[in-house]
Amino acid sequence: MLQRSRRIFLILLILLLLGACASAPYTPHEVSDVPEVPEAPETPAVLAPPEWPALLTTSAARELMDSGTPFVLLDVRTEEEFADVHIPDAVLLPLDVLREQASTYLPDKEIAIIIYCHSGRRSAEAAMILIDLGYHAVFDLGGIINWPYETIVSD
Q: Which residues are catalytic?
A: 117
Beta pairing partners, 116: 75, 142
For residue 42, with 0-12 CB atoms within 10 Å meaning exposed, 13-18 middle and 19 or more buried, which class applies?
Answer: exposed
b or e along 9-33 (b: 16 or more beta carbons within 10 Å of the residue's beta carbon)? bebbbebbeebbeeebeeebeebee
Sign of CA dihedral 125, 131, 134, 135: positive
Strand partners, 43: 40
Strand pairing category for 85-86 and 152-153: antiparallel
92 with 75: CB under 8 angstroms?
Answer: yes
What is the chain's length?
155
